[in-house]
Homo-oligomer: A and B are copies of this chain.
């Protein structure tokens, strides 16, 4: 769902997008590509990683490492990897827990396994409709950025603001700060249960900045 939403937005913006799956001709990927014109294509994770200048990790968090290994470190080398996934584990009943957290994060694990890839964690703290259409919620609200490479973070900030329309992007620091954003998921899930919908976001309100 996240991959579909992000890919569709990128196509609408005029970019070429190859959606990756475990196998070539994945039914949902083919349907997506057929619906999205000549700039849209599909293939394996490896095909998609080789094709992309910038890679979005929109896989299910507990499967992200396996998916990225199948994409191949050579195909990811020197590229920006925008990591949107959360390592949520729904298999042990509710409330869902995180498969990685506290003294580690999915973002850090990916960065450690792919040291030549520029991992930037962002957009993992809100629903996917909102990720590509922040103005669907009125007023000021934030997305966060974590990563070790300043140039990569600047590029991702540009994607967030100029492409997706985000007005506020808070750079938290290096990839370790991904722990903090991934650990927002438990309260996010409680709020979604309470409100009955995912149409909300976090805002950091400051004393000296309105």
By a beta-carbon cutoff of 8 Å, the part of chain A in contact with chain B is: 92, 95, 97-98, 101-103, 136-141, 144, 170-173, 176-177, 179-181, 183-184, 186-191, 193-195, 197, 199-208, 210
Given A97-B103, A102-B97, A183-B183, A191 contacting B172 (CB threshold 8 A): yes
What chain B residues lie within 8 Å of A191 (beta carbons)? 170, 172, 204
Could you list 25 A-B pairs, sorted by A, with CB under 8 Å?
A95-B177, A95-B179, A98-B102, A101-B101, A102-B102, A102-B186, A137-B206, A138-B207, A140-B205, A144-B187, A170-B191, A172-B187, A172-B191, A173-B194, A180-B187, A180-B189, A183-B187, A184-B184, A197-B207, A199-B206, A199-B207, A200-B206, A201-B205, A202-B205, A203-B203
Expressed in whole angstroms, the Cα–Cα distance for A102 and B97 within the complex equals: 6
Expressed in whole angstroms, the Cα–Cα distance for A206 and B138 within the complex equals: 8
Q: Chain copies in the assembly?
A: 2
- Chain B's closest residue to A94 (CB) is B176
What chain B residues lie within 8 Å of A202 (beta carbons)? 202-205
Shortest A128–chain B CB gap in Å is: 14
Most central of A194, A202, A204 by chain B CB within 10 Å:
A204
